A = this chain, B = another copy of it.
Amino acid sequence: MAQLLDGTSPETRPGPARILDVAELASVSVATVSRVLNGDSRVNHELRERVLASASQLGYRPNRLARNLRRRQMDVIGIVVPDIENPHFAAMVRVVEAIALGLGHRVLVCNTDEDGDRQAACLQMLADERVSGIVLSPSGPDGGIDHLRDLAIPVVTIERALRNGPADAVVADNVAAVRAATRRLIDAGHTNIAFVGGYSRVNAISMRQRGYLTAIEEAGLAPVLIGGQFLCDPAEVAVTALLRAKRPASALVVANNLMALGAIRAVRRAGLRIPGDVAVIAVDDPPWAELLDPPLTVLAQPIHAMATRAVEFIVRRLGGDQSPPVHDVFPLKLIVRRSCGTGHLP
């Protein structure tokens, strides 16, 4: 009798049609409408047709806000990255968005600026929103992960495993790759090789630093670590200072593409040439790497494959998989161009 108690007819009622309006027009209950709309199979064919017709006649669109409350979940995947202007993370967001869309999910993006507090705030916010899952590219400490597990929100980290919050992780083999790249410079005769990175101990950059240090130590050389805050301009400043030192480096291992830009600019402005005066190898293979002069030798990350795998993990957990967290490791690929000055080596 709800229909009759509702004094307003569908035509006069303002605003978007509700499920009740569809039910009335089709002369069925709201439960039946809901079943049809959610693909519940056990509903009479004729009723289904009536419901569908009414819904389309009214231009009915389910109110997701109500749906979310009832189901205690938004169909949204959160993605937390240090900086979406970094082409590396932009590619990640792109892949996650494309796949999420296919799963009927939206994507909420958060930038952390490599700030642990902001990361924690983002995670808290995404928890408050009851997102379905989170893809996290960690920067800073592992704040807030426990809270997410309490809410049964699956988290997958990309680029770095979490310490105290076991979660699936998709990581690149940074240590081995950077070690090999550094080794290559050493084999080419360089004895003063600097590493351009942040000073972070919490993300992929630190793994790259470890790879660099390993190679340097193995060769009995002295390490030179300089900052860069993961960004272009700070890296330029740091490299400029380095090049003015008494014994400037003859080779640079740069920990990401943004800092590579800054480092190269610094070398140019110092009037030095690449690779003649300074050899350069950088991590990340942005589209412009091969167009620089000289083309940049890089360690390319299979970012699309990694992001895809990350979403697969989320989907698996959403499907109820309770098995222990997995760490998937992807290899980096060395692409030798001219900036490292060792193109003639194997």
Contact = CB atoms under 8 A, between A and B. Distances in A.
Interface stretch (A93-101, A156-164, A215-223, A245-253): A93-101
Contact of A291 (B83, B106, B258, B292): B292
Given A64-B128, A293-B292, A90 B84 contact: yes
Contacts of A97: 84, 109-111
Interface stretch (A66-74, A170-178, A313-321): A66-74
Interface in A84-128: 84-85, 87, 90-91, 93-94, 97-98, 106-111, 124-125, 127-128
Count identical subunits in the complex: 2
Contacts of A184: none
A261 interface: yes
Contacts of A73: 65
A13 to B, nearest CB: 14
A207 interface: no
A149 interface: no
Contacts of A76: 108
Contacts of A287: 232, 258, 261
Interface core residue of A85, A98, A261 (most chain B CB under 10 Å)? A85
A85 B74 contact: no
A264 interface: yes
Contacts of A93: 84, 109
Contact of A65 (B68, B84, B85, B110): B68
Given A85-B91, A292-B292, A109 B109 contact: yes
Nearest to A62: B128
A16 interface: yes
A20 to B, nearest CB: 15
B94 A111 contact: yes
A62 B69 CA distance: 12
A187 interface: no
Contacts of A84: 84, 90, 93-94, 97
A83 B95 CA distance: 11
Nearest to A261: B287
Interface of A: 16, 61-66, 68-69, 72-74, 76, 83-85, 87, 90-91, 93-94, 97-98, 106-111, 124-125, 127-130, 151, 232, 258, 261, 264-265, 268, 286-288, 290-293
Given A63-B69, A85-B87, A97-B111, 15 more contacts: A61-B124, A84-B90, A84-B97, A85-B90, A87-B90, A97-B109, A97-B110, A106-B129, A108-B108, A109-B109, A258-B287, A261-B287, A261-B288, A268-B291, A288-B292
